[in-house]
Amino acid sequence: MKLGKHIYNEQGMVLLAEGVELTQPLLDRLNRHGINYLYIQDSLTDDIVHVELISEENKNKLLREIRSSFRKLANDPGRRSSLASYHHFGKTFRMHMDGLIEDLSRHGDAMIMLSDIQIKDNYLYQHSLNVCMYATMLGMSHGYGKDELMTLGLGALLHDIGKTQIPDEILCKPTQLSDSEFSEMQNHTVYGYRILKEEPNIPLLSAHCAFQHHERMNGSGYPRGIKGDEIHPYAKWIAMVDSYDALTTHRVYRPALLPHEALEVIMGGANTLYDPDMVNLFRDKVAIYPLGVTVSLCTGDIGVVVDLNASMPQRPVVRIIENQQREPLKVPYEVDLSKQLSIMITSINPA
């Protein structure tokens, strides 16, 4: 096999270039670094055209800035008592968000699809970027203007910045948190608000996104237990996409859900946890199985996602390339899951 798409390291530089031959030792090394899927060159799928909604350059710049700013905050010995000593990052983040919004605006009404491959050195950094991209694109689909997208995007990008104030032994604990530890974890919303409200060039509404992104429609969230219209719409968008991205990411204390399983969880929370209109837009706009990903079906067949259904993005068109016995098909064929409702995706095949 040869690599079909660049893999980037934690600094956003190319770690492995497209076209590199994939040996077993190389695959084992990538697995150890958290890479659990790859794009490979394959004549059976050469016709798939994947359009990047956001340039790799802009994504990598944002990741580097997130990493740099978050680490400075985490390493600041006076981080809770002396806000004046914080590294000021608002102007830089606004500049990078300008590039991200410009990239997204070029693609108009395109489906939202995340499919980059990166060495994930820290869940917090990649999660922050993912939530930002989801929320900004959904805001664009909702009809927000550029200033609104900037405020929403910054709030989404920095919604978890308060976790830099949480001790690592709590933040990275692989087992269930004690009551006192869970209470401290919840405080990341308050810490985030305190950091962002003092930060030049960060709108106050973006700070409220950090404060409110764990509030829920029925009042069951934290830190204040507010509900319904008491929660700002930007925080409602972020609450939904934050939950979805967390559910679909493997963590030390639980395995990742399949994208359609996570979507069902989000849809099940409409009205009670999440705004129902926002949930419906998410369902209609996010391609939870991106083009080119290899999947197993409940029939036992193996296929590759080759097309998206705008009316049912969670049920794509899959090209079957292997049968139930894992034998390559001489003549692949396609199954439209929006028309074959009894056929389900059961797994995303790992690298």
Q: Which two tokens stand for residue 260?
A: 């359609």
Of residues 314 and 228, more confidence is placed in: 228
**Span 311-321, average pLDDT:** 90
123 and 263 assigned to the same domain = yes
Q: Say if residue 263 is in the same domain as residue 318.
A: no
Does the pLDDT at position 236 exceed 80? Answer: yes
Categorize the per-residue pLDDT at 189 as very low, low, confident or very high, splitting at 50, 70 and 90: very high
Name the packing angle between helices 90-105 and 56-74 (round to 10°): 160
Q: Determine the pLDDT at residue 350.
A: 54
Looking at the DSSP assignment, which residues form a beta bridge with residue 302?
296, 322
* pLDDT at res. 80: 47
Of 268, 285, 302, the last residue of a domain is 285
Residue 49, in any domain of the structure: no
Q: pLDDT (tens digit, 9 = 90+) per residue, 116-137?
A: 544 455 678 889 999 999 999 9
Return the C-alpha torsion angle 122, 127, 129, 131, nearest 10. -170
Helix (H, G, I), strand (E, B) or coil at 266: helix
What digits encode the pLDDT tens for the residues 95-105? 999 999 999 88
Q: Does residue 131 share a domain with residue 187?
A: yes
**50 domain residue, yes or no:** no
Q: Are both 209 and 339 inside the same structural domain?
A: no
Last residue of one domain, picked from the residues 285, 318, 334 = 285
Average pLDDT of span 230-243 = 98
Shared-domain flag, residues 144 and 177 = yes
pLDDT tens readout for residues 145-182: 999 999 999 999 999 999 999 998 998 888 889 999 99
In-domain check, residue 121? yes
Q: What is the mean pLDDT of the chain?
A: 86
Same domain, 237 and 132: yes
333 and 276 in one domain? no
- Say if residues 345 and 295 touch (Cβ distance below 8 Å): yes
pLDDT of residue 7: 77
242, 348: one domain: no
Q: Is 39 left (phi over 0), alpha (psi -120 to 50) or beta?
A: beta
Say if residue 268 is in the same domain as residue 215. Answer: yes
pTM: 0.83
Could you tell me where the DSSP H helices lie in the chain?
Answer: 24-32, 56-74, 90-105, 123-142, 146-157, 168-171, 179-186, 188-197, 204-212, 233-247, 259-268, 276-285
Q: In this predicted model, which residue has the larger pLDDT, 3 or 211?
A: 211
Say if residue 229 is in the same domain as residue 331: no
**Is 330 inside any structural domain?**
yes
Domain boundaries, position 120: 56-285
| Cβ count within 10 A of residue 166 | 19
In a domain, 93, yes or no: yes
40, 157, 244, 287, 301 from 134: Cα distances, Å: 25, 10, 10, 11, 31
Residue 214 lies in a domain: yes
Q: Percent of the chain at pLDDT above 70? A: 88
The CATH code of the domain that includes 196 is 1.10.3210.10
Q: Distance between CA 331 and CA 320 in Å, rounded?
A: 9
Do residues 150 and 8 share a domain? no
Q: Looking at the 3D structure of the chain, how many domains does it have? A: 3
46-83 tens-digit pLDDT? 777 666 778 877 888 888 889 888 988 887 655 544 44
